[in-house]
Amino acid sequence: MSILITGNLGFLGTNLTLHLLKRDFKIIGVDRISYCSNLSALKLMKKHKKFLFYKADIKNTKLMSKLVKNVDMVINFAAFTHVDNSIKTPEIFVENNIVGFQRLLKVCAQQNKLLIHISTDEVYGEILRGEAGEENRFNPRNVYSATKAAEECLINAYKNNYGLKSAILRPCNVFGYWQYTEKLIPKTITLALEKKKIPVYGNGKQIREWLFCEDFNSAVELILEKNIQEGTYNVGSRTRKENIQVVKKILDILGKDYSLIKFVDDRPGHDRRYAINSQKIRSLGFRARFDFDAALEKTVFWYAKNRKK
């Protein structure tokens, strides 16, 4: 099977690309290469004979048409993802996550190629009680999640108007190897290793559902194995932690003092709690295999070993 992976040098794209290459898939990677792209991972990918890479933007319709023509399907990770940045520069997120994505949709529909799109649980907005199922209404509360919701609306329109084949995954907060240090877990690890203050928004009581990157890879591989070509699937772990709990666990692993924690002003419209119901994908056989504490420890040790000195 040959797969085009867009945004393959971002956090999730990097992990899945390396995962599928080990399983002998033929992969074409496309990434525009931005500040958070994993260039060291690209060197590892290029060691595989069944991997090709193109430095390109998905807005390049001519190139994308050529590449999509030569693969069995497309897995799309291409998006700007950092909520803080989306609040500061919303125009950039709209241009990349919506305008660029529409061009990719057009190519996939024209060539009748399956698109597996990676969305986010943040399209549901904050879930103060209970869990969000796939049929919950969208309630995005920041620019990033609004653009991800818009992507899904475009998919629905392209299915209805042009016969697009597409399946959507909505993962919870994924953590693990290769994640850029602007996100909570790698930022905390990196700052703790450098004995620098760790900023925590508000009181740190915001609750997130956490999934290890290797479990997310397994979820995508399951979708491939089952030949799923339609539908939407939440991908979660049922493991929910307050941000402050996660920070303290990292400090405990590293043997660092809690005095490194510095509470700072909360960001505008910060969602207080995310929680998703993943029964639909569990019914296909998916299970999160990694215990949160053990996976967090693996992640901490990976960053300690691989961080730039």
DSSP per residue over 143-177, as a string?
Answer: HHHHHHHHHHHHHHHHHHHH---EEEEEE-EEE-T
The set of catalytic residues is 121-122, 144
Q: Is 208 helix (H, G, I), strand (E, B) or coil?
A: strand
Query: CA-based Rg of the chain, rounded to a whole angstrom?
Result: 19
- Paired tokens of 221: 């591989």
- State the DSSP H helix or E strand holding residue 235, giving kind and residue range, or none if neither: strand 230-235
73-76 and 2-6 as β-strands: parallel, antiparallel, unpaired? Answer: parallel
Listed residue (210, 219, 184) closest to 199, CA to CA: 184
Q: Is 211 helix (H, G, I), strand (E, B) or coil?
A: strand
- Paired tokens of 176: 């693990």
Q: Is 247 helix (H, G, I), strand (E, B) or coil?
A: helix
Phi then psi dihedrals of residue 241, to 5 deg: -135, 145
Listed residue (175, 207, 216) closest to 274, CA to CA: 207
Query: For residue 71, what are the contacts with CB-CB under 8 A and spacing of at least 6?
Result: 2, 3, 4, 26, 28, 113
172 vs 238: CA distance, rounded Å = 9
